[in-house]
């Protein structure tokens, strides 16, 4: 399947990854309908910052992924659905887990039910590396056991299984993409890389963080976006789960040091107790095996390895350093 020329619904288009993906698809020549969360401010999230020539080509649909009737209306007339809408903040899932079930599990059910009934050609459901929990072996391939170590990850496991069940039960053309830790411009400051960058950009040199020893496989946002396109276009990915990760592992502490190097500052790190996950919930190690997506869809990272990671961090830091961007963040407040 070629996405160019297709009518594509992107749910969560107002978010971090979704806005980058929407812009990328428009530049590819796709006909894009952007599903954004309805609000009384008529805000389209990060799409409000998109160039006019991009916005002029997008059909905006404001609604709520939890509402089956609205979802059906959004899916109607679309050939492909790229489903990214979700609640993603892990600390907030400790506070309000019921909301995660409604949004992530039931929201996904609404998507695949509408896709089945309306004859959509392809559904890409967005998973997360958090569903693996702490790695039992590395690199992590798609057969690794799933472990719900937070209400968030449990809700995403449920969403994945709902999506795949529609492929198994009704032959709905579903594929599941499992991005590892995506970072880049527009990411929420609740995530570790923007947390570090925004503190430094606002003049702090004593940086507040949680645990420093866990390792992550960070994936620059443009690589993640390219992964969505590759998986959506690959017929071999239907009914499959594919990891999209850089194949490079680094600790949070070493990540902070590399960011400081990129931004040309010296920092010290202090532990902020409120940023620590509950015991048993921390994912200690994530490190992707991306060989399956390479085999099935031909995807490989352009920002892989320590050199690629440093390149991605420079681009991210430059974006956050822009006064027009950094003022959107409250770096002095911990955001769960």
Residues 18-45: tens digit of each pLDDT = 999 999 999 999 999 999 999 999 999 9
Query: What is the predicted pLDDT for the residue at 281?
Result: 80
Q: Could you list the residue range(s) of the whole structural domain that residue 209 is in? A: 192-213+249-283+304-326
CATH of the domain at 278: 3.90.25.10
Number of folded domains that form the chain: 2
CATH of the domain at 103: 3.40.50.720
pLDDT over threshold 80, residue 167: yes
Alpha helices in 171-304 (DSSP H): 192-201, 221-233, 252-263, 291-297
Token representation of residue 211: 């645990």
Looking at the fold, whether 39 and 175 belong to one and the same domain comes out as yes
Distance between CA atoms of residues 198 and 202, nearest Å: 6
pLDDT over threshold 80, residue 273: no
Looking at the fold, whether 147 and 270 belong to one and the same domain comes out as no
φ and ψ at 244, to 5 degrees?
-120, 100
pLDDT-derived band at 206 (thresholds 50, 70, 90) equals confident
Looking at the fold, whether 47 and 176 belong to one and the same domain comes out as yes
Share of the chain above pLDDT 70, in %: 99
Looking at the fold, whether 84 and 72 belong to one and the same domain comes out as yes
pLDDT over threshold 90, residue 205: no
Q: Which of 166, 321, 177, 319 is nearest to 240 (CA)?
A: 177
Spatial contact of 173 and 120, defined as CB atoms under 8 Å apart: yes
pLDDT over threshold 90, residue 5: yes
pLDDT-derived band at 204 (thresholds 50, 70, 90) equals confident
Q: Which of 215, 111, 210, 95 is nearest to 151 (CA)?
A: 95
Looking at the fold, whether 260 and 152 belong to one and the same domain comes out as no
Q: Which of 78-92, 119-133, 320-334 has the lowest mean pLDDT?
A: 320-334
């Amino acid at each position: 399947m070629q996405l160019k020329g297709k009518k594509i619904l992107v749910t969560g288009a107002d978010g971090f990854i979704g806005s980058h993906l929407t812009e990328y698809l428009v530049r590819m020549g796709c006909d894009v309908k952007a599903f954004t969360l309805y609000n009384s401010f008529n805000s389209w999230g990060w799409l409000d910052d998109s160039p006019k020539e991009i916005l002029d080509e997008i059909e905006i649909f404001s609604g709520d992924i939890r509402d089956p009737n609205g979802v059906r209306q959004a899916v109607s007339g679309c050939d492909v659905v790229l489903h990214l809408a979700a609640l993603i903040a892990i600390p907030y899932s400790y506070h309000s887990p019921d909301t995660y079930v409604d949004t992530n599990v039931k929201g996904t059910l609404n998507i695949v039910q509408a896709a089945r009934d309306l004859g959509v050609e392809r559904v890409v459901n967005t998973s997360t590396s958090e569903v693996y929990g702490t790695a039992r072996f590395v690199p992590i391939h798609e057969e690794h056991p799933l472990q719900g170590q937070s209400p968030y990850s449990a809700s995403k496991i449920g969403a994945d299984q709902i999506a795949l069940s529609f492929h198994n039960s009704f032959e709905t053309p579903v594929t599941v993409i499992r991005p590892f830790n995506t970072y880049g411009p527009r990411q929420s400051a609740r995530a570790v890389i923007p947390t570090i960058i925004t503190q430094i950009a606002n003049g702090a040199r004593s940086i507040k963080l949680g645990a420093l020893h866990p390792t992550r496989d960070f994936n620059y946002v443009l690589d993640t976006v390219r992964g969505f396109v590759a998986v959506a276009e690959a017929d071999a990915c239907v009914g499959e789960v594919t990891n999209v990760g850089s194949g490079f592992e680094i600790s949070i502490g070493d990540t902070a040091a590399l960011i400081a190097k990129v931004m040309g500052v010296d920092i010290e790190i202090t532990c902020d107790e409120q940023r620590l996950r509950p015991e048993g919930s921390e994912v200690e190690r994530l490190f992707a095996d991306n060989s399956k997506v390479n085999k099935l869809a031909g995807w490989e990272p352009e920002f892989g390895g320590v050199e690629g990671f440093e390149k991605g961090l420079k681009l991210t830091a430059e974006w956050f350093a822009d006064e027009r961007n950094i003022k959107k963040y409250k770096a002095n407040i911990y955001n769960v």
